[in-house]
Chains A and B, each alone.
Chain A
Amino acid sequence: MNLFGKWRGHSASRPGSGQNARATIGAPPRWSMPGLGLFKGLVVTARNMMQSYYRKDRMTTVQYPEERVTISPNFRNFPFLCYDGDDPVAGLRCTACSICEKECPPQCIYIVLDRDENGKSLKRPKLFDIDISVCMNCGICAEVCPFDSIYMDGQYEMSTTDRFGGLLLGLDRLAKSADYHLKLRPLEASEVAARRKAEEAKKLAAQAAKEAKAKTDKEAKAKAAAETQTAATGKGETA
């Protein structure tokens, strides 16, 4: 019933490049039954209607919320802050460096650095707000974070009746454990964990080396100091 001639499979029937190939499409029959094209359309819709009763892959919709499609583990939605251990405050990886705040395209992140009474940075956020009514789920904050602290969440049922407060996520709602991350995106999280572990180990080693060096330095210094002192006392004594 192919009314329109050789229009399918033309690529096979048309060898030779260099010169323009021509394909006649849209049917040049001398006489065609009017309404045949309409009839073909009717056949297509009838077939679709029948198949909608027994072929699941034909359906365009799912019956949410009873029925849910499986979401890809890579799906990203709003950001969250990752913490190690059990304490969301002490274990927070974020150092309030504000890189994400600067890079965020719609500027939906607001960070206040926590300081002690002397005004010295505590390297942790006092305030970390994300306005998810502004956030556009681009994931750039997660990408630029050098401290493996901010990641994209997969949670998508976040509707609320509170337009303002309900959509402004503070530290309490943003902070989620590393285990959550591991569950959400096993591949990425385990990679990060391994890297962090290696870094930690390296850091520890460096720390140990540094401490050892410092110790030796200190000892050497103390020795030197003692020497100078003895020398001084000796001098004083002599003076």
Chain B
Amino acid sequence: MISDLSRFSPSAAPALDDDQLLHVSLGPQHPSTHGVFRMNVALDGETVVSLKPVFGYLHRNHEKIAENATYLSSMPYTDRLDYICPLSNNWAYAQAVEKLAGIEVPERAEYMRVILAELTRLINHTAFAGFILGDMGAWGSALMYAFRERELILDLFEDLTGARMMANFMRFGGCRNDLPAGWAGKVSALVDGYGPFLDEMEDLLIGNEILLSRTRDVGALTKEVLINGGITGPMLRAAGVNYDIRKVEPYGIYQRFDFRIPLGETGDCYDRIMIRFLEMRESIKILRQALDQLPDGPFVHPKAKIRNFKPPVGEAYARIEGPKGELGFHLISDGSANPYRYRVRPPSFINLTLLEDMCLGLDLADVVVILGSIDIVLGEVDR
């Protein structure tokens, strides 16, 4: 149980002929892979010599469909990008269209959006903690605890948006409907109960020696590599790069809240887990402030159009700090009811690009943990 990688260094792995290696296809039907992701791994013993990710099994032509549909009809499709956190996707897309058409968002809607986005962050990071334990072979206990809390938030979403996951809630210029009576109170009750739950999860995970030895010094890359690879989100911050779009390029009303960005040092899998836990604590802080300050007013801009929406000719890129990283939407309008070009910058997909660099020279078992620590959702990778 001693994680001393030096004995198993990649540099010591002798160069072998291809036919001496064991070629294993992990996925698309494999119990470890998230969704239908596939890795073609060449093993020397159990040491990874090469790893080729294969994806596209869940490709749904999202971008092309969006170019042939009205602006509003793409909104429900964004739910299905990263289906763990649909509301942040909604926000990113709504923001892009608002930028394109120059639509104002009322105060109350901004607060609602912040509350929903931070709840989504809680969902994502909680589920992540459960999933990574599953990847390490724990028999689902952490996952069940995580999903129990996630269910509570999903109940709130259902009450507000009508759907647990596929919310389709944000509209250009606000939100679809106002908060139901008593909803804000329920959120603050949930936020108050979330701290103890996080304490429990930390007891279960953070000090666990097996988890420590499985995750420490596994899958670390230098800051430079991560930045050059375009990695964003908790993965980048775990390596100590202070890059959070909520601070770097504040959108919505994030500059009104007092919160901090946790940064790690080494960027290994353990730091990635820890950063997510710390981010959840910060999200709770944001949620408390937002709930306190929630103003009255319209939930959508009164002049926002639902039918016959045609933004002026132009181009817009809007990005938010999604739970998994920078989520951006790039839209080009030719003045018609459909976008001329519609492009998503998916954090999962881009974070996945350095998978092989992280895995080389490590064990097969580490590959699974590293893939888990990247936190991908195949809906977003394959689009």
Question: Footprint of B on A, CB under 8 Å?
Answer: 3-4, 8, 11, 17, 21, 25-27, 34-38, 40-41, 43-45, 48, 58-60, 71-72, 74-76, 99, 102-105, 136-140, 143-144, 146, 152
Residue of B nearest to A35 (CB): B209
Q: Distance (Å) between the CB of B192 and the closest chain A CB?
A: 14
Chain B neighbourhood of A11, CB < 8 A: 281, 285
Q: Is B72 on the interface with A (CB-CB < 8 A)?
A: yes
Q: Are B70 and A103 in contact (CB under 8 A)?
A: yes
Q: Are B307 and A75 in contact (CB under 8 A)?
A: no
Q: With A45-B141, A74-B158, A138-B168 given, is the CB distance from A144 to B180 under 8 Å?
A: no
Chain B neighbourhood of A27, CB < 8 A: 207
Interface of B is mostly: helix
A75 to B154: give the CA distance in the assembly, Å. 12
Q: A45-B204, A137-B166, A138-B76 given. 4 additional CB < 8 A pairs?
A: A44-B204, A48-B141, A137-B163, A143-B306
Q: Are A72 and B77 in contact (CB under 8 A)?
A: no
Residue in contact with B209 in the complex, picked from A25, A34, A136, CB distance below 8 Å: A34
Among all A-B residue pairs, the 3 with the closest Cβ atoms: A37-B207, A138-B76, A76-B162
Question: Footprint of A on B, CB under 8 Å?
Answer: 69-70, 72-77, 79-80, 141, 144-145, 147-148, 151, 155, 158-163, 166, 168, 176, 180, 199-200, 202-212, 258, 260, 270, 274, 278, 281, 285, 306-307
Q: Are A140 and B159 in contact (CB under 8 A)?
A: no
Q: Distance (Å) between the CB of A47 and the closest chain B CB?
A: 8
Q: Are B285 and A140 in contact (CB under 8 A)?
A: no
Residue in contact with A26 in the complex, picked from B180, B203, B274, B281, CB distance below 8 Å: B274
Output the residue of B70, B199, B209, B270 with the most chain A CB within 10 A: B209
Q: Are B180 and A74 in contact (CB under 8 A)?
A: yes
Q: Are B203 and A43 in contact (CB under 8 A)?
A: yes
Q: With A41-B208, A75-B158, A139-B168 given, is the CB distance from A60 to B77 under 8 Å?
A: no
Q: Distance (Å) between the CB of A187 and the closest chain B CB?
A: 8
Q: Are A144 and B206 in contact (CB under 8 A)?
A: no
Q: Are B72 and A76 in contact (CB under 8 A)?
A: no
Q: Are B147 and A60 in contact (CB under 8 A)?
A: yes
Residue in contact with B307 in the complex, picked from A26, A48, A71, A144, CB distance below 8 Å: A144
A104 to B202: give the CA distance in the assembly, Å. 45
A3 to B199: give the CA distance in the assembly, Å. 13
Chain B neighbourhood of A72, CB < 8 A: 155, 158-159, 162
Q: With A4-B206, A140-B76 given, is the CB distance from A48 to B145 under 8 Å?
A: yes
Chain A neighbourhood of B72, CB < 8 A: 103, 140, 144
